[in-house]
Chains A and B, each alone.
Chain A
Amino acid sequence: MKTKTKIWMIVGKIIGGIVRSTKAGGGTTLPGKIIRYFRPHFVREVVSGLNIGCVLVTGTNGKTTTAALIASTLKRANISFVHNRTGANLLSGIASALVREKIRELKRSKELGLFEVDEATLPEAIEETNPRVVLINNLFRDQLDRYGELDTLAKKLKMSLEKLGVGSTVILNADDPLVSSIGSNLRCRVIHFGINTDIYSLEGLEHAADSKHCSNCDTRLEYRYHIFGHLGDYRCPKCGAKRPPLDVSAESVELKSFEGSKCLIKTPAGAVEISIPLPGLYNVYNTLGAAAVCLTLGVDLRVITNSIEKFKAAFGRVESIEIEGRKLVMILAKNPAGFNEVIRTLSNLDAKLNVVFALNDNIADGRDVSWIWDVDFENLKGKLSNVICAGIRAWDMALRVKYADTGVDCLSIEPEIGTAMERLLCTAGKNETVYIVPTYTAMLEARRILSKKGYVTPYWEE
């Protein structure tokens, strides 16, 4: 590493220390932002010293969880790595993660960079890190006000992947027609993963489904089955484009509500029965993606299954919190596809639900709250007992629930997320479970409130 780069690392460390000591937050992006302003290729200079190289993880849903699954497996496999853990997934977040490492350690023993990357940032991140492995999990409509349109985004991603050489591997979700279309005619190795069973097949496309047309010829795709959103086993009736053969696949899936699922996973290294401790089909995809990355890095399949079975969810995505005899389950939902999966899991529970829906419209959530109208709240009909709508856009959320005609016994509005949670917990009986489904910054706020009361630890201490 150049001396100047080292000096900037020290500067970054000092800034990070100041940010944390003023309690302004975890210092997960600011140091990187400042350093990159003065030294634009800081990331490139530092990661060039890693002897395995970088892994980039992207996709609209499941980035953080997938990266965390990979991280816990790498730990078990004794591969040392740098990781932007806390959802700081722009280049400033990557730079900040690099700054946090001790300079001497980074030089001597860190072998790999594991970075969760925002979809729109991927081209720049590829340019800066020349990655060994890139994982694209899915592409859904998410905050179009930031990303522009999905087709344009997919084209940009493909163009940047075309620059990767034969030494790199791109891992794609084959069940997502838009994602798998990115994999054609690349120089690097391409690996596909997907769910190869129709047992949880949906009858038709959900309203949140996005990529319904063939990216070759614009014909409407035909599906043998849907998993969720536009994910499934598809083919184009006109040009014959279809889901590519799966290299890593879930051959059977048994969902067990919020506890997780049981799957039979088939890989080039063998087949294995695995219990995934995370709920929903989206976490089956996260697991398959993480497993494919780790296999590519040469990790033993047994080490991978062991680490996944003992995995604890990344904060907020799904978190179960004990509060004076009651259980609060927090499930992040930041776009229609993710929200529909949460609704599917909730509606399969036996009890009537007490739930806070917390909707914010900060930049990180997306300023536009229109997307809640693409969520099928109608599927909660007859399942709701008590609903409190919270957050900056509590009233919009209340309207969505009202117009879904779910027959909720009690619908109320309380913009303050802390008060909303308290009120819901008060109405719940002993040993009852209440749910909070927040958008991204609403989740951060809920966690901040809970950590002040000592129920959870602040995320930058984890």
Chain B
Amino acid sequence: MKLVICHLYPDLMNIYGDRGNVIALAKRCLWRGIDVEVKSLGLGDKVEPGAYDIFFMGGGQDKEQVMVSHDLYETKGETIRREIEQGACALVICGGYQLFGNFYRPAEGEELPGIGVFDAYTIAGSKRFIGNVFVETCLDGRKTTVVGFENHSGKTYLGKNERPLGEIIVGYGNNGEDKTEGAVHLGAIGTYLHGSLLPKNPELADFLIRKALKRTYPGRDIEALDDSVENLAHKHAIKRAKKTH
């Protein structure tokens, strides 16, 4: 078995150790004997249809986000959206999440186009939402928790029929108002949480791996790993989140 991960703009969009998510996906496959290939796509590169199982994109500084938004919209957006409709997965964090929505409207300057994977839009806020976050969610019908760290001033609002990743227990989430965090659309997950996110949320990592495998290898499940360190990190991050807010 083999998964191909597409890391979008790794040198431009990697502000909060976001590459830890790619490391976690790759290692959790390799430890199970699943081959992994990570391919980087940068400015100008086109997305070859059917070539990727999981798309990943992190957050960037303002300048990088502007550079990336037009390229993503013009050279990659349409293919990525179609791939996700056809069963590919995605994890997009912070700036990546914003650009996978419909648009991002900054405080000044032009509006940045989004590729519309999520029915969501983001407007620049005046307050920066910073801190540990802890949300309750449901993955594959199982109630669970996700924990991470947020640092954003953009406020994201979901369309009526778009499902959030979870409900905020501690933290601000999408917009600091409606208690939602992130978005899930088919196999695509958008979120403000880094930390890095996947290492200490192994259930979320495996959710993505399982979904990605399903398209090419239907009926094959993945074996459990020894997640004792992951689970301890998860538990203590929740504790820390409660304590620091």
Contact = CB atoms under 8 A, between A and B. Distances in A.
Given A149-B61, A399-B199, A403-B27, A373 B17 contact: yes
A398 interface: yes
B194 A396 contact: no
Given A218-B67, A374-B17, A403-B20, A369 B195 contact: yes
Interface residues of B, number: 35
Given A212-B11, A396-B200, A403-B24, A374 B62 contact: no
A352 interface: no
A416 to B, nearest CB: 14
B197 to A, nearest CB: 9
Interface in A291-310: none
Nearest to A372: B17
Contact of A367 (B14, B130, B199): B130
Contacts of A369: 149, 195
B233 A396 contact: yes
A370 B62 CA distance: 19
Contact of B230 (A152, A212, A393, A399): A399
B54 to A, nearest CB: 17
A452 B233 CA distance: 30
Contact of B149 (A151, A367, A374, A395): A367
B229 A413 contact: yes
A378 to B, nearest CB: 9
Contact of A395 (B20, B23, B132, B229): B229
Interface in A33-60: none
A145 interface: yes
Interface residues of A, number: 35
A148 B130 CA distance: 11
B233 A368 contact: no
- Residue among A212, A218, A396, A413 having the largest count of chain B Cβ atoms under 10 Å: A396
A402 B67 contact: no
B8 interface: no
Contacts of B16: 144, 368, 370-371
Interface stretch (B96-104, B216-224, B236-244): B236-244
A403 B237 CA distance: 18
Interface string B190-218: 00001110011000000000000000000
Interface string A393-421: 11110111011010000000100000000
A374 B22 CA distance: 12
Contacts of B125: none
Contacts of A314: none
B244 A367 contact: yes
Contacts of A141: 15
B19 interface: yes
Contacts of A399: 199-200, 229-230, 233
A370 B61 contact: no
Nearest to A150: B61
Interface in A359-402: 361, 367-374, 392-396, 398-400, 402
A400 B23 CA distance: 10
Contacts of B236: 393-395
Nearest to B24: A403
10 contacts: A144-B15, A150-B61, A212-B11, A368-B194, A368-B195, A370-B16, A370-B20, A395-B236, A396-B233, A403-B199
Interface of A: 141, 144-145, 148-152, 205, 207, 212-213, 218, 220, 361, 367-374, 392-396, 398-400, 402-403, 405, 413
Interface of B: 11, 14-20, 23-24, 27, 61-64, 67, 128, 130-132, 149, 151, 194-196, 199-200, 229-230, 232-233, 236-237, 240, 244
Given A396-B200, A405-B27, 15 more contacts: A151-B62, A205-B11, A361-B240, A367-B132, A370-B149, A371-B17, A372-B17, A373-B23, A393-B240, A394-B236, A395-B237, A399-B200, A400-B199, A403-B20, A403-B23
